[in-house]
Amino acid sequence: MFVEPIGQQIAVCSFDEAARLTLLDKNFWNVISIHGPRDLKAQLRLAKTVHYSCFDDIEEEDSTFYRSPRTADVAGIFAHIRSLGVGPPAPPLMVHCQQGISRSTAVALAWIYGQLPAKHDRAARSIDLILEVRPQARPNQLVLAFGLAQFMESSEARRLAHRMTSEPRFMRNQFRGPM
């Protein structure tokens, strides 16, 4: 979907949808591929670029049994996105995880937020846009906080991530299964 306010084509999708889209749009998408350590790593040979990041979909920073997202994981994702250039047009961006609902929407939401002008309704506008791109979004709060920290101080990013993920439309999506 072309996100007009930031002038960029963005897709947020599942593992399977990413494979289909890169087959349909050969050498078009710059992909952020997020997988857990026990998940298959997507083979997206027809993507323009692929950046792989490996962490589980959990919101705990120190987990005993799962690979928690870390600041460095998300910073690496954003470094890759920035390395693509700015355009115009901005390079097309696809972010995917296993189901395309939590980790990927958090990354895309933070990216959209960072590209919008700094206005009082920036967070609300970002939420509206991510729900247009991926209506079933329920962003991972920890990943979102690390993503927002690319654009602001870390403690402010954590507060904003909490406020954003508490948005009623995201909360409703918590009780729906994958679509």
Distances (CA, A) of 117 to 5, 21, 123, 125, 133: 9, 30, 10, 10, 19
Element (H, E) at 30: strand 30-35
| Structural domain total, the chain | 1
Domain range for 74: 2-174
In a domain, 179, yes or no: no
- The pTM for the full model equals 0.94
In a domain, 32, yes or no: yes
In a domain, 103, yes or no: yes
Residue 134 sits in a domain whose CATH number is 3.90.190.10
Q: What is the pLDDT along the chain (179 residues), one digit of tens a residue?
A: 999 999 999 999 999 999 999 999 999 999 999 999 999 899 999 999 999 999 999 999 888 899 999 999 999 999 999 999 887 789 999 999 999 999 999 999 999 999 999 998 999 999 999 999 999 999 999 999 999 999 999 999 999 999 999 999 998 987 665 55
